[in-house]
Structure 1
Amino acid sequence: MTALTRVLDRFKVPGDLWGGFASMLVALPASVGFGVTVYSAISPQYAVFGALAGILGATALGLIAPTFGGTDRLISAPCAPAAAVLSAFAIELVHQGTAPASIVLLLTVMGMLTGMIQMFIGFMGAGRLIKYIPYTVVSGYLSGVGLIIVGSQIPHFVGASSDLHWWRALTSPETWDGRSLIVGGATVGAAFVALRGKRTIPATIVGILAGLLAYVLLARNDPTMRTLENNPLVLGALGATGEGYLQTITSRWTDIGELRLSQIAALLGSALTLAALLSIDTLKTCVVIDQMTRTRHEPNRELLAQGLANIASSAVGGMPGAGTMGATMVNLSSGAQTRVSGVIEGVLALLAALLLSQFIAWVPVATLAGILIVVGLRMIDTKPLRFLESRATVFDFAVVLVVVACALTVGLIAASATGVALSILLFVREQVGGSVVRHKTFVSQRSSTWYRPEDEMRLIAQQGDRAVIFELQGSLFFGTTYELYTLLEPELKTRDYVILDLRRVQSVDITAANMLGNARDLLRERGKLLLLSHVREQLPNGRNLREFLIQTGLIEPDVPVPALLGAQAPEPQGTVRVFKDLPAAIEWVEDRIVSQIVRPQDSQAALTLQEMQMFKDHRDDTMADLEASLQQRSFKAGETIYAIGDQVPELFLIRSGEVRITAPIAASRQVHHIATYGRGDFFGGMSFLDELARSENAIAQTDIELFALSLEQYVRLSENHKKLSLLLMTAISRTLAQRLRHADGERTLLHA
């Protein structure tokens, strides 16, 4: 099945038919105007060829782009950026003394090169990159092109010679033709009135009809306006089926074969500029369609189709173009549903040119100039004026202003490059202005996922300020390096451990890596350590952070992989420690702080009930009754004690070993480490109290010995030993309250 067959299979009548017809009424006159703009820059005698180039461009683009493209409702036709670049190129060649026939030939080759570059961009998958051009650049570019279009049409609007510069024509009333002013003024006025109305008829059509009516009324009293010969006020005969035009196209192809490679290479810069502008114009229109229809376009496929259409259009002497906003919006509002509406627009453009060529010949030049002035004025983006209302955005307005100024004085490619460069500088400025330190805390204020005995917690609270924690965010690059080192330097000189959490870091450059190396060296001189957590293997920019830090010499290449897994990993060499996450780094520091607490030699032996912290200072006979209600259980390392969804409400007291509590992260295969409990602690209290299903997994991290108390056994115990049951519940509640208080304190600290 061919591409055209697939398109026809989706044909939606009557929406596509009316949409194609309405968009043709908008696109065809504008295409003719754009063609005249370009070719009249060569010589007034070439205006007719310009009109034909616009017609053929609207036809070729209308037929080919939607057939092979992937965006429904998109209308492709000659457009303002193409007219601006090509007319500027033609004017430059005229000033260089290039022969008119050679200029036409070079315009053809340039259009074909533009299409080839667009196809290459689409083939390489670079279409998605165009959407990253900053809004300030796009806004300034659109306004600059709009002003260029308005300026180029002023001589035609006032009836002056097209050789005059727009400023000269505007300031020389003696060169004006009152008839052109009346016709052009009627066109512009009617178009703007139509834009403010309900838009039952497109404003472009209303403006053209008003201009034609004004011309007819003037022609009643002026015989020179009723003839096509030597009448500078109208387009003149198009000759769409004349042998002269066909012969010109044929001879043009013959002449192309005689072009030197150096001449073609000289066109590449302008063709690249035009390809970029047309691609931006197309994809910008596609994005608007997506927003209005809740669809998604395929940028690379669309660029391939647009490039192919521009090659075909230029090959037959037509204007290159792009997906146009005005005609597309008319198409959409007229009920179009599929790409067939674009094909219909191309067919109707050709039929209108063939059947109505005599009518088009009488279209006043001032009318087309008026329409293009309206289009140019509407392209001027006034939204950036709001940027002046705030000091925070005044620099963004300056970028727009510089882009417009460069477009008017230097060129569009220079304007785009300047705008992107200034936007990058503004981005760097914003990054430098924001802090890369999200939080600064101490281990005494934070805790790992390890729930420790009270004596250890007291010691950590007393000495936890030996370790400072910096949670970093954003981009660590040359613009933020100085600020970060300024914050780190005092801590590097006084703390035993400096922890840098890289979880929220988006990118790291070589300057930042070198600064971290300096921080490591300063700690090394004091015999202290730098700890890094969340050293990911893939940052948002695609860089492998761990590999990058090894290449820059910050961490050793032979750091064992277990060192990335947590605090229980083997000790790596050097003065930098690398941990999977921040709790693992904090746990590692906590272990070193509490290592000064002397434990009995049998500290790993299984505890009796009376030896547990929560039951100290209670009578032995009471504990004997409680112990009689408990079951002793043992698990090997790695075995599951309970899993998510288990319904058995039990409380577990740890006699020896360690248990790890985990839960899966929602909508992810990753597992979150919630807590680790050790000898003398308990777990499973929440389900024991509320009798709901387990919401986490409990896995033995080492061989473990447990006391297990089921809810059923507790109820029996409470019937006979009310004081004992109250004692047990009080101990559980007190411990849970301490954990909750600590968690609330940390949460408040993190949100400060």
Structure 2
Amino acid sequence: ALALIPEAISFSILAGVDPRVGLYSSFVMAVVISFTGGRPAMITAATGAIALVVAPLALEYGVEYLFAAVVLGGVFQVTLGLVGFARLMRFIPRSVMVGFVNALAILIFTAQLPYLVDVSWLVYPMVAAGLAIIFLLPRLTTAIPAPLVSIVVLTGLTVAAALTVPNVGDQGELPDSLPFFGIPAIPFTWETLTIIAPYALGVAFVGLMESLMTAKLVDDLTDTHSNKTRESWGQGVANVASGFFGGMGGCAMIGQTMINVKSGARTRLSTFLSGVFLLILVVVLGDIVAIIPMAALVAVMIFVSIATFDWHSLRTIHRMPRSETVVMLSTVAVTLATHNLAIGVGVGVLVACVLFARRVAHLVE
């Protein structure tokens, strides 16, 4: 729960909505997925991948359209889960997956740049100090999440020295109560459907890809088997609930899941309690969260982008088959050009199919 707070706030800002949206989303999704999911101990909450998908929609049409897109995306996920989408994941080439992860990391990093332009010079040493804490603290102890320590230290410094820097409170109001059920206030017309459908498809595919990749990782770590079909439709149910309760949607979180599993968690109870404790902490400590400097969250997000990037793919790129390199770079390039992870993955799969057909044709000849 402590590790979820800074990232939920950061991803809210990444999506262009106020911090309540990401925090509500993380609470609702963690609680719902603890009942519907197919991978016990996996943490589902607001994520950078989904934030990047829905950000253009929130910017152009407003937060109510975002909620509607998340609900529709959840419906798509339930449908995909019931028709066996999880089994198709094995056919997505690894080079596309690597391109997806690398593009996600780059987009998260570039999304921080607006918070580093036209700001007080104090922001830069604060970001540097935050990164230093995040990278160096784990060498001393892993008992407390390093991003959380970084945020506490920088917030304490800001208050003690009375520094004038942008903070979370400047980004929007924080929750002081439980989320409530509500139907998105949008016109129920064909035009609305054409607006939200592309983003809903993005939420569905990107969310399922990241969730099923994380589930496979936890399977390997724990030597257990997850029900990926159930996880697929379970993610959909969680997203539908998120949209109706004023959340921005989400999917499995690799970092928080690793914290949970490596701490010994193996059951659904750990996922359920992470959501409950998150809401309690935010409602009780809302005034404190509001004074967190944005520099601290930027440091956390830069760390997330660095940790997400597959650096091994760069070190071995000269040894990879040329076709795999082309597929990976195509996925990254299209994703960065469109700022849409789903389109990038789609193009990557298409390029992989074309190159595979070309190889088969040469073999036949």
- What's 1:632 paired with? none
Please give the alpha-carbon distance, in whole angstroms, between the structure 2 residues aligned to 1:138 and 1:324: 16
Q: Does 1:233 align with 2:167?
A: yes
Q: Does 1:133 align with 2:61?
A: no
Deviation at 1:368, TM superposition (A): 1.2
Secondary structure of 1:388's match?
coil
Please give the alpha-carbon distance, in whole angstroms, between the structure 2 residues aligned to 1:388 and 1:240: 46
Please give the alpha-carbon distance, in whole angstroms, between the structure 1 residues aligned to 2:253 and 2:184: 32
Please give the alpha-carbon distance, in whole angstroms, between the structure 2 residues aligned to 1:198 and 1:140: 32
- What's 1:255 paired with? 185
Asked if structure 1 preserves the Cα contact closer than 8 Å seen for 2:176 and 2:286, the reply is: no
Aligned partner of 2:354 among 413, 425, 441: 425
Aligned partner of 1:307 among 236, 243, 253: 236
Q: Which structure shows the higher helix fraction?
A: 2
Distance 1:155 1:282, change over 3 A: same
Residue identity matched to 1:397: T
Asked if structure 2 preserves the Cα contact closer than 8 Å seen for 1:140 and 1:400, the reply is: yes
- What's 1:203 paired with? 146
Distance 1:383 1:325, change over 3 A: same
- What's 1:352 paired with? 281
- What's 2:33 paired with? 65
Please give the alpha-carbon distance, in whole angstroms, between the structure 2 residues aligned to 1:204 and 1:198: 13
Asked if structure 1 preserves the Cα contact closer than 8 Å seen for 2:103 and 2:332, the reply is: yes
Asked if structure 2 preserves the Cα contact closer than 8 Å seen for 1:77 and 1:322, the reply is: yes
Please give the alpha-carbon distance, in whole angstroms, between the structure 2 residues aligned to 1:388 and 1:54: 36
Report Cα offsets for 1:395-430 as digits up to 9, x if no partner.
Answer: 422322222121111232332122112222343455
Deviation at 1:25, TM superposition (A): 1.4
Trace 1:25-64 onto structure 2 (pairs within 5 A).
25-40=2-17, 50-64=18-32
Aligned partner of 2:130 among 182, 187, 190: 187
Residue identity matched to 2:128: G
Asked if structure 2 preserves the Cα contact closer than 8 Å seen for 1:73 and 1:342, the reply is: yes
Residue identity matched to 1:36: I
Trace 1:139-218 onto structure 2 (pairs within 5 A).
139-156=98-115, 158=116, 160=117, 175-218=118-161
Distance 1:67 1:240, change over 3 A: same
Report Cα offsets for 1:469-523 as digits up to 9, x if no partner.
Answer: xxxxxxxxx55333xxxxxxxxxxxxxxxxxxxxxxxxxxxxxxxxxxxxxxxxx
Please give the alpha-carbon distance, in whole angstroms, between the structure 2 residues aligned to 1:132 and 1:296: 19
Please give the alpha-carbon distance, in whole angstroms, between the structure 2 residues aligned to 1:142 and 1:36: 21
Deviation at 1:334, TM superposition (A): 1.0
Distance 1:216 1:59, change over 3 A: same
Asked if structure 1 preserves the Cα contact closer than 8 Å seen for 2:219 and 2:226, the reply is: yes
Residue identity matched to 1:241: D
Please give the alpha-carbon distance, in whole angstroms, between the structure 2 residues aligned to 1:389 and 1:239: 48
Root mean square deviation of aligned Cα = 2.2
Deviation at 1:196, TM superposition (A): 4.6
Aligned partner of 2:253 among 308, 324, 327: 324
Asked if structure 1 preserves the Cα contact closer than 8 Å seen for 2:168 and 2:289, the reply is: no
- TM, length-normalised to structure 1: 0.46
- What's 2:363 paired with? 480
Trace 1:355-366 onto structure 2 (pairs within 5 A).
355-366=284-295
Deviation at 1:267, TM superposition (A): 1.6
Higher relative contact order (CA 8 A, sep 6+): 2
Report Cα offsets for 1:339-376 as digits up to 9, x if no partner.
Answer: 11000001001101111111111111121121111101
Trace 1:651-670 onto structure 2 (pairs within 5 A).
none
Trace 1:111-130 onto structure 2 (pairs within 5 A).
111-130=70-89
Distance 1:254 1:293, change over 3 A: closer
Please give the alpha-carbon distance, in whole angstroms, between the structure 2 residues aligned to 1:426 and 1:188: 41
Asked if structure 1 preserves the Cα contact closer than 8 Å seen for 2:103 and 2:335, the reply is: yes
Please give the alpha-carbon distance, in whole angstroms, between the structure 2 residues aligned to 1:424 and 1:386: 25
Which consecutive unaligned segments of at least 5 residues does structure 2 have? Answer: none
Asked if structure 2 preserves the Cα contact closer than 8 Å seen for 1:56 and 1:316, the reply is: yes
Residue identity matched to 2:151: I
Residue identity matched to 2:96: V
Asked if structure 1 preserves the Cα contact closer than 8 Å seen for 2:127 and 2:298, the reply is: yes
Distance 1:415 1:364, change over 3 A: same
Deviation at 1:327, TM superposition (A): 0.5
Please give the alpha-carbon distance, in whole angstroms, between the structure 2 residues aligned to 1:78 and 1:254: 18
Secondary structure of 2:251's match?
strand
Farther off after superposition, 316-325 or 397-406: 397-406
Please give the alpha-carbon distance, in whole angstroms, between the structure 2 residues aligned to 1:378 and 1:88: 25
Which consecutive unaligned segments of at least 5 residues does structure 1 have? Answer: 1-23, 41-49, 94-101, 161-174, 226-230, 433-477, 483-752
- What's 1:597 paired with? none
Extract structure 1 runs of 4+ deviating beyond 4 A. 195-198
Aligned residue pairs, count: 363
Aligned partner of 2:69 among 107, 110, 113: 110
The alignment-based identity, stated in percent, is: 26
Asked if structure 1 preserves the Cα contact closer than 8 Å seen for 2:38 and 2:229, the reply is: no
Please give the alpha-carbon distance, in whole angstroms, between the structure 1 residues aligned to 2:137 and 2:97: 27
Asked if structure 1 preserves the Cα contact closer than 8 Å seen for 2:65 and 2:184, the reply is: no
Asked if structure 2 preserves the Cα contact closer than 8 Å seen for 1:185 and 1:370, the reply is: yes
Asked if structure 1 preserves the Cα contact closer than 8 Å seen for 2:4 and 2:256, the reply is: yes
Q: Does 1:397 align with 2:325?
A: yes
Asked if structure 1 preserves the Cα contact closer than 8 Å seen for 2:167 and 2:290, the reply is: no
Please give the alpha-carbon distance, in whole angstroms, between the structure 1 residues aligned to 2:321 and 2:139: 31
Asked if structure 2 preserves the Cα contact closer than 8 Å seen for 1:407 and 1:415, the reply is: yes
- What's 1:517 paired with? none
Deviation at 1:234, TM superposition (A): 3.5
Please give the alpha-carbon distance, in whole angstroms, between the structure 1 residues aligned to 2:86 and 2:20: 31
Secondary structure of 1:211's match?
helix
